[in-house]
Every structure is written in structure tokens, then in C-alpha cells.
Structure 1
Amino acid sequence: MNFATSDPALMPLVERYLAPSDRELLVPVLNQLGEDADSRLATLADTADKNKPTLEHFDRDGNRVDRISYHPSYLELSKAAYEQYGLSALSHRGIHGWTGVAPHLAKYALSYLFVQAEFGLACPVSMTDAAARTLRKFGDPELFGAYIEGLTSTDPERRFTGAMFMTETQAGTDIAMTETKAVPDGGAWRLSGKKWFTSNPDADVVLTLAKYPGGDSTTRGVGLFMLPRLRPDGTRNSYVIDRLKDKLGTRSMPSGEITLDGAYALQVGELDRGFKHMAEMINTSRLSNAMRSTALMRRAVAESVAHARQRVVFGKPLMEQPLMRMTILPLQLEAEAALGLIFHSGDTLQKADAGDERAKALIRVLTPIAKHYICKRARFVTGEAMEIRGGNGYIEDWPNSRLLRDSHLGSIWEGSSNVIALDVLRCMTQYGAHQVVGAAMAEKLAALESTDCAPGAQRLTDAWHELVQRGDDMLAQSTEDAQALIGHYTNSLAWLIMAVLLLEQAQHEMTAAGTYRKLLVANSYISLIVEGRTDSTPEALAWLDEIVDGAQVPREAALKVFK
């Protein structure tokens, strides 16, 4: 199975969002990676998951080395990610035929395929990309040029990997509680303290936070620093890896605890804006996090369909059993809706980077909305997929257990769901983000009047009016009440955004190719997921095979959902 060509939603989104010149370069690489992910990378990932990295504190002469040893399967995956496909370099330099940098969506589309094979490595890949972006945006180009060059290189002899060390035992969510200290040392700084959860702890380039002299007790008293693994003279920097974490998932990729002991570091940006600068890296990683969870959902759905088609129960394949079809349908709808939000967010980020002020406001809230909903929903989808496979899904010989274990990290990395929901509330309080998003979605829905999308569009128009008003009412309540309600409200925002994007994509596919499959998907998502109409059998059940295969369905079937 080719992960790219077998995905009914991916290529139509690529066709719509990317310019012809970009598609010409991207599609061959997507096809190559799609085949590679299934035939080679997924097997390597299964092996790496079962052979965790190990930490060697001292060499045979008693010298402290803190060397992490990786299984050859993980090293092969790293070579594919960093070198062959250049996943962390795509947004920074011309590769795969691009003379300049590729659009963000090229990176997200390729990474989406890679993660369906291997989730754990995608964390350091994302942090490497985000570290380069942060240093480029806030750092002195002369001071950090060599580090940026390494972070964006695909050369096995020159490339660097990146990481961010933020979490301390007392300072995870509350960054103002950071206890790591930074003291000036000529043109550099010396950092001392402990970091509790550091993924990719042997990274070449680390961005970290520390208190600086004279800083206040808020997040403005925390500066951002670049911590290289090696000092400029080539010697090991003054920090040690105390131990590696024993984790539920992402077992292939190490996470550890770090003690900094006067470690050499360079200041990034303005001292009192360190946390704001770090937020750039965090927000970029959060969107990548949502993309990774979307990939887990897609792989889980593909596994479920493949199993249901070959497993015979009571004389016929599971895929022909009505209740199983009703089980698989919402999983497919969730996966497609999530991918649509990832593409829209990546496109919005591209426009924001180009200076579009409206896009900047939109991506600021779309990122936490996507992270909050998609990452948590992936836990449900992968869990259902495990149950569909039954006992085999529960054992480690099949990919379901790894998908489920990995899915739980998405809701924790770069901020747990509650932290992310409070970020959505912050956006709403600061600039009325719910109104900004509502207005953007209203424009999309207005463009669907007098089309076959009109019945669903009218339902969503009414729902958006109610949701924006609900947001206004929530903000008028006490802070405590608003905080209590924001989690459910964020889910509602996600549902309606994804429903609008599905309808918009359906209109594109009807216009460009005369196909009605996506309209059936969009209308079914509105009916089953948004409106919760589970008391009647959706029209989509009769056409489930066509939905999961990307085949044509009759116009009448798509329109019948709301008749």
C-alpha cells in the first residue's frame, strides 16, 4: 500500500492548495515517500520501538561521555527524515528541486506520510525545524549563522539536530517558576539548573529558558538561550544527562533529565522577551503536533479498513457488517476533517509569514484549536482502531498498540489540553479570536450559496451565529466561569471550522473534477459529528467503500443526507 496514493483526501488537498509549479515538484516525492513509508520505514519503526536507546555515562577510561546509543533501525529512520526527505530543511533551503524554500504545506504533507510510519522521530525533526526558524527570526545572523546552517543541512557530515529544554520539576506550565539561572560571562552566558523532561537530549543545538540577573518574577524575567552540545573549542559543554525516561510511547526517541553546570550558552533576542521568543518555537511545534496526530488517525483508519475487509465473521467480511461500517465511518470522517484543518492552517501560516495581518490573527488561534482537538481525538480514533482489530490489535506484533501509545503524547507535548484551551481563551480575550474566525468562516460559507453545498452551509451559518454569541456570553462571565467552559468551547470551534473546510473542499472537487465524494463526507460530518444525529443510519454507510477508497459517489447520495 502506498500511503500517499491510497489516501482519499491527501492528493485533492495538494491539488487545491499548492501552485502547479509546487505540485510538480512535490507529488513525485510524496509518491516516493508514500511507498517507502509502507515498504520500509514502518518496519524500521516497529523495530526501533522495540529497541529503545540506551545511555552510557562513562567510557571505558572513566571519562564522562553521556553517549546515547541508537538501534540501527532508528539511525536509518533518521537518515530518511533528515537527509533523504529533508523534513527539517524544507522550510529553510531549496531541496527536491525547489530553488528557494518550499511552501510550508510541502513539509506538512511529507511529514504526514512519514509519521504514519514513525511518530517518535518526528519530535526532534520538528524541533530542529522550529529551532532554525526561531534563531533565524530572533537571533544575530552572524552569531548563529553556523548553527542555522547545521540545523537546516541534509549533509550527514554537517547536519545538526535541535531540541528545546523547558520543563523543570516545578516549572512545566508555569514558566515564571523557572529556576535555572543564567549569569553573564563576557559575550556569552553560563547556565546552571535542572531540566526535567528533555526530548532528544543529545541534540547539537538546544533552545532553553533561564532566569537572568535583575529579571522580575514573571515570564519577562526568563530569557531565551541557545545551548550548543559542544563549546566553540570543540569540547563537551558543561551539562550531563542524568538518565533517560521510561516512557509509555515514542520509545524509539530518547527523552531525559539534564543537569546544567555552568553550561556555555548564547543569548537569543531580548532578555525580557525570552518566553515570547520561545513561544514562536512552541507554536510551530504545536501545529506540527496536530499534524502528527492527524497522521496517527489516518494510519489507524487504514489499518481498520484493511482488517475489516479481510476478516470474515458470521459468513461475510467485517466491512460488510452494518455495525462495523457505522464504527469505521466516523473514524474516516474525523481523519479527513483533521487533515483539512492542517492544510488550511499551513496555508494560513504561509500567508502570515508573508505579512498578511489577518492570517497572523487566524493562525494564532487556529494553532491551539487544532492542537487541542486533533491531538485528543487521535486517542479515541487509535483506540477504536485497536478494538476493531480485536486481540491482535492489543499485542505488539501489530501497529495498533504503538499507534495508541504514541497518540497519548500529543495531548501533553507543548502544553496539555487544558493549557492549550486557556490559550484559546487568551486569544478570545485579547482580540476576539472567535469573532475573527467566525467572520472568516462566514465568508467561506457565503461563497457556497446557490451550490450543492448550500444545505450544509446554511446549517453551519446558523451554528456559527450561535457559537460566536456563545463566545461573547462566555467572555461576559467571570474569569473562573470562562476558564471552566473554554475546553468544550474549543471543541465546538474545531468542529465548525473543520465542517466549513470540508464543505469548501467539496465545492472545489465538484468544480475541478465533477466528483461528489467529498460532499458526502462533508454533509455526513455535519450530520454525524457536528449535529450528533446518530438515531438514523447515515447515507454514507451505503457508500462507505467509495468514501475510504476515494471513488466516485452519485450526486443524489451526497444531497440525500439533508433530505
Structure 2
Amino acid sequence: MNFVSLDPALQPLIESYLDPTNRALLAPVLNALGADAAQRLGPLAETADKNPPVLEQFDREGERVDAITYHDSYRELSRAAYEEYGLSALSHRGLHGWDDVPPHLVKYILSYVFVQAEFGLACPVSMTDAAARTLRKFGAGRFEEVIDRLTSVDSARRYTGAMFMTEIQAGTDIARTETVAERDGEEWKLSGRKWFASNPDADIILTLARYPGGDDTTRGVGLFMLPKVLPDGSRNAYVIDRLKDKLGTRSMPSGEVTLNGAYAVQVGELERGFRQMAEMVNTSRLSNAMRSTALMRRSVNEAVAHARKRVVFGRPLIEAPLMRMTLLPLQAEAEAALGMVFFAGDALQRADAGDATATQLIRVLTPLAKHYICKRARHVTAEAMEVRGGRGYIEEWPDARLVRDSHLGSVWEGSSNVIALDVLRCLRQQGTHRLLAETMTASLEAVELPEAGDDVRTLLHRWEAITVRGDALLAGPGADAEALIGRYADALAQLVMATLLLTQADTEATRDGNFRKLLVARAFIALNILHDDEVAPEALAHLEQIIDGAVVSRDAVASPTPVV
């Protein structure tokens, strides 16, 4: 088994977004990881899920140690993620043959394959990456050694990172943060309680605290770097009160932490602490969407494997018409999500290079992807589990773990309502619904495939309508906009994904002579945009080719999608 070869959408997207040099460097490590994730890392993840970490608060002498003990399976997974594949380092240093930092997409692609084996560990990996990015951006050159160790692949040197934001009364409403910072010479001491802290024994923590003289808004909250070990080698002054008993991500610890005058170093400008922390949060939010996409892909793989093997009433289950209609939307959702992750990752690359339009795009694409993809992962994993029937509900199979883990994406780094309101903020501040419409419309107008003409006109019509709808949303009462933004964000995300599927279909048909992606695009448009089951019969007829990534001829797409 190889998770890369099982994915029909991955390689064509890589060809579309990465140049030949980057593709050549990526290919060997990606193929190695694809096999490793399926054959070694997947079983390790199942074992780690069943053997969660344990907190030892005191040693046998009664001294406070707050040591977390991990199962060997999790330790091996950590070595693979941080050291062998360097997932937290890929946005910061050259690895795997790259002399310089590879494109952001390389990290997202490799992480997407890794997460199909292990989801929980990807959270501290992402936070480690994001902590290094945040310290580099706002640390004014003060944290070079810390950044070097956060991005190291050397087992003797590497650090892991975390962010402690959530308090009992201050999850969404950061202005209510009660943790306080007091001056201690050139540095600070922090006191307070963080209620939900993942990777609580991280080496480097970024956290928020109120500073003297700050107001009662988010501008009164500063950003601080808190090391686990002090410069003199002693433990910092905070304790882990307990670990959380979670629905999913059981392999990775989350806990409650109390800061007792903990040593901390200020990061950036005090009054901009929340905005600076938002850089870390937004990076993690995009990773959340990527991880949810990976769960979709793994769950679809499991459902397809079962449907092909299971014989019911004398024929393989995959030949049953209703089962085909069950599998097709799951496949289309997984491919649509992956296309959006690629597009967002590429936009982030261009934004980091100074592209102002890309900066606006990634600002809205990040919450859009997190809002829609993470929530849809719950549906896709649950439907895929049901394909396996009673077996899927049993923990010996991976389906139940995938379902449990899938619920995290919609909660972590802001629940769906919080994320939807962030989309609304983007619309109000920058009119990004219009920017998306302009960008997607330009892509659709560049489609040259004659067979896609009606599909293009369908989506162009929908972009006009959703732009008008967005304008009306912004012009109406504020309370109405807040009430309706969740549904609007979903519709906007679906339209982005439909457009990306169709433009990729144009690329693959022109470049490879393969019309497979056009069938996928039509299925997604029919089921998610037009809400009509009857306009994608050709996709159902060619389901095996869609699943396997086989070549689909031009004749198979002769029936156009009607314009609505």
C-alpha cells in the first residue's frame, strides 16, 4: 500500500502547482512517505491512539516534575514527523535536497500524506512550525537560537512549540484574558491559568497575558515567549494540572496549565500581542483544513477498499447503484478540499513574497477553508464509516478513530461560528467576496475546453449571484449579517472549490488528455451547487476510473451540465 498512489487527485495537482525542479526533489520523499504512512506509521498511530500519554506530576521523592510519559509508538511517530520528514522545518530550511526553503506547498503535501496515518501529532508539528514563523516575523532578531531549535531535525537539539490561549472565560473573547504579566527587569513574569493547552510539555510556548497599563480590549493583551527550561537549566514556574480526556487525538496530550510567576520574554509590541498571535493561529487554521482533507482522503480510501472487497447478494458492493451514489460525493468532496488546500498554499507562498492581492486572498481563504472543509470532514468520515457497516464502528478498524479525530477541526483554533465571523470581518474590511469573484471569474474565462463550456457558464452565473448576495449581506443590518454569514461562507467555499475543480479539469484534459477531473467537477457542481442528483450520471458510470485516477476519454463527457 502507498497513500500517494491511492490518491488520484494528488499527482495532477502537483504537476499544476510545482515547477519541474521542485517536483523532481519532492518525488522521492513523497513516494517514500506514501509507503511509510500506509505500512509503518498507520499501525503505529493505531497503537498510540490506544495508549495515550500519562502525566506524572511528582517523582518518588515528592518533587514536582510534571513529566508526560509517551508510548513508544508516539515517540517513533514523532521521530518520523520532526526528524525523518522534517514537517515542522520545511517552511524554514532546506531539506530533502532543497538548498533553500522549499515552497509552502511541499510542507502541506507531505503533511497531508502523513496525517492520513496520524492526525493527533500533526497539531504540535503545526504549532512548532507556526511558533518559529511568528517569532521570526515579530521577534526582531531576538529569538534566533530558539527558531533554529524549533526548526531543527536533530533529535539532540530540536524543540517543539505550543500556544496557550484558551482560558475558562476567554476562549473566543481574548479581551477577557485574566493571565497577567508583571515586569521583572528586562523580562516578565506571568501568572494565570490556561484551560486548554495542547502539547503542554512543549519546549517553547507562545501565550497571551494582560500587561500593566493595557486597556480592557485585545490591545491590552501582550504576546510572550515562555520556555520550559530557564537559561540556568532549572524548570520554569508553571505546572500541568491535568491532561484532558478527549474524544479524539488521544495520542497527543492536551492539558490545563497554571503559571506561577513564570519567566517570559516579550514578543513584538505589547499592544499588538493578539494580532501577532493571530499570525500563529491563522497558520494553524490553514493546517487544520489540510489535516481535515487528509482525514477525508483516508476515510474514502477505506470505504472504497471495503466496497470492492465486500460481496453482497452475489456481487461486489461497489457495483450496487446506491453504493456508487454514496461513494461519488465522498470522492468529489475529498478532491475539492485538496484543490482548495493547494490553491491556498500557493496563495500563501505568493503573499509571503509580497503579492498584495495574494495577501488579501489568503486572508479570506484561510477561514473559508477551515470553516467548510473541517465541518465537511465530519460528514465524509461518518459516511465512509457507515460504508463498512458494523465493522466501521468497531475500534479495531481505523474508521472510528477517523470520525473521532474529524470533530477536532471544527473546534480547534476557533469553532465554526468564530471562523464564520472572521469571514464576515474580511468581507467588511476588504470586500474579499468581490476579490474572490474576480479571481475565480478570470480563471473560468480562461478555460479553453469546449466540453466545459456549459459548466463554465453555470459557475459564472453563480459567481454573479453570490457577489450580489454578499453585497446585500453587508448592506443589511449587522445582526442579520452575523446570523447569515455561516451559510454564506459555506456557499462561497463551495463555489471556490467548484471553480478550482473545473479549472484543474481544463488543465488535465489539455495537458494529459484525461477527462476524469471534468467528471469529478460536474459531480461536485451537480451535488453541491445545483443540488441535483440527476446531472452526473456519466460520473457514476465511470466511478472506478475516477477512484483509480485512470484515463477517461472525451466521449465519456459528451453530456454537458445544464446551465442554471
Distance 1:127 1:284 in 2: 9
Distance 1:370 1:538 in 2: 28
SS in 1 for 2:143: helix
Is 2:169 the counterpart of 1:170?
Answer: yes
In the alignment, which residue of structure 1 is the partner of 2:81?
A: 81
Distance 1:469 1:368 in 2: 21
Distance 1:14 1:184 in 2: 50
Letter of the 1:134 counterpart:
T
In the alignment, which residue of structure 2 is the partner of 1:323?
A: 322
Instruction: Kindly report the root-mean-square deviation, in angstroms, between the aligned alpha carbons of the 2 structures.
Output: 0.9
What do residues 255-279 of structure 1 show as CA deviations (whole Å, max 9, x unaligned)? Answer: 0000000000000000000000000
Unaligned runs of 5+ in 2: none
In the alignment, which residue of structure 2 is the partner of 1:37?
A: 37
Is the CA contact 2:526–2:536 (under 8 Å) kept in the aligned structure 1? no
Letter of the 1:545 counterpart:
E
State the aligned residue count: 562
Distance 2:553 2:526 in 1: 18
In the alignment, which residue of structure 2 is the partner of 1:180?
A: 179
Query: 1:554 Cα deviation (Å)?
Result: 2.1
Query: 1:450 Cα deviation (Å)?
Result: 6.0
In the alignment, which residue of structure 2 is the partner of 1:21?
A: 21
What do residues 463-499 of structure 1 show as CA deviations (whole Å, max 9, x unaligned)? Answer: 0000000000011111100000000000000111001
Query: 1:553 Cα deviation (Å)?
Result: 1.3
Distance 1:92 1:539 in 2: 45
In the alignment, which residue of structure 2 is the partner of 1:528?
A: 527
Is the CA contact 2:535–2:561 (under 8 Å) kept in the aligned structure 1? no
SS in 1 for 2:192: strand
Distance 1:33 1:276 in 2: 36
In the TM superposition, 1:91-490 aligns within 5 A as: 91-141=91-141, 143-448=142-447, 451-490=450-489
Query: 1:505 Cα deviation (Å)?
Result: 0.7
Is the CA contact 1:449–1:457 (under 8 Å) kept in the aligned structure 2? no
Distance change in 2, residues 1:522/1:450 (3 Å): closer
Distance 1:248 1:433 in 2: 35
In the alignment, which residue of structure 1 is the partner of 2:550?
A: 551
SS in 1 for 2:558: helix
SS in 1 for 2:379: helix
Query: 1:510 Cα deviation (Å)?
Result: 1.2
Distance 1:536 1:84 in 2: 46
Is the CA contact 2:451–2:560 (under 8 Å) kept in the aligned structure 1? no
Distance 1:106 1:77 in 2: 20
Distance 2:557 2:548 in 1: 16
SS in 1 for 2:408: helix
Which deviates the most, 252-261 or 546-555? 546-555
Letter of the 1:2 counterpart:
N
Distance 1:268 1:198 in 2: 19
SS in 1 for 2:41: helix
Identity across the alignment (%):
67
Query: 1:6 Cα deviation (Å)?
Result: 1.5
Distance change in 2, residues 1:27/1:548 (3 Å): same
Letter of the 1:279 counterpart:
A
What do residues 113-160 of structure 1 show as CA deviations (whole Å, max 9, x unaligned)? Answer: 00000000000000000000000000031x311110110000000000
Query: 1:399 Cα deviation (Å)?
Result: 0.1
Which deviates the most, 534-543 or 186-195? 534-543
Distance change in 2, residues 1:22/1:258 (3 Å): same
Distance 2:133 2:557 in 1: 43
Distance 1:158 1:515 in 2: 47
Is the CA contact 1:209–1:222 (under 8 Å) kept in the aligned structure 2? yes
Letter of the 2:395 counterpart:
E
Which deviates the most, 388-397 or 514-523? 514-523
What do residues 336-379 of structure 1 show as CA deviations (whole Å, max 9, x unaligned)? Answer: 00000000000000000000000000000000000000000000
Distance 1:389 1:530 in 2: 28
In the alignment, which residue of structure 2 is the partner of 1:503?
A: 502
Letter of the 1:372 counterpart:
H
Distance 2:273 2:155 in 1: 31
Letter of the 2:559 counterpart:
K
Query: 1:452 Cα deviation (Å)?
Result: 2.8
SS in 2 for 1:236: coil
SS in 2 for 1:241: strand
Query: 1:520 Cα deviation (Å)?
Result: 1.1
Query: 1:204 Cα deviation (Å)?
Result: 0.2
* TM-score between the two structures when normalised by the length of structure 1: 0.99
Query: 1:110 Cα deviation (Å)?
Result: 0.2
Is the CA contact 1:198–1:256 (under 8 Å) kept in the aligned structure 2? yes
Is the CA contact 2:207–2:226 (under 8 Å) kept in the aligned structure 1? yes
Is the CA contact 1:387–1:393 (under 8 Å) kept in the aligned structure 2? yes
Distance 1:525 1:429 in 2: 29
Distance 1:411 1:290 in 2: 9
Letter of the 1:297 counterpart:
M
Distance 2:55 2:537 in 1: 53
Distance 1:118 1:558 in 2: 37
Letter of the 1:145 counterpart:
E
SS in 1 for 2:171: coil
Is the CA contact 1:198–1:257 (under 8 Å) kept in the aligned structure 2? yes
Distance 1:386 1:499 in 2: 25
Distance change in 2, residues 1:230/1:246 (3 Å): same
Is the CA contact 1:180–1:192 (under 8 Å) kept in the aligned structure 2? yes
SS in 2 for 1:117: coil
Is the CA contact 1:539–1:561 (under 8 Å) kept in the aligned structure 2? no
Query: 1:536 Cα deviation (Å)?
Result: 6.0
Which deviates the most, 501-510 or 370-379? 501-510
Distance 1:536 1:333 in 2: 14
SS in 2 for 1:560: coil
What do residues 269-317 of structure 1 show as CA deviations (whole Å, max 9, x unaligned)? Answer: 0000000000000000000000000000000000000000000011101
Letter of the 1:544 counterpart:
L
SS in 1 for 2:197: strand
Letter of the 1:514 counterpart:
G
Query: 1:451 Cα deviation (Å)?
Result: 3.4
Distance 1:218 1:309 in 2: 57
Is the CA contact 2:151–2:158 (under 8 Å) kept in the aligned structure 1? yes
SS in 1 for 2:101: coil
Is the CA contact 1:528–1:538 (under 8 Å) kept in the aligned structure 2? no
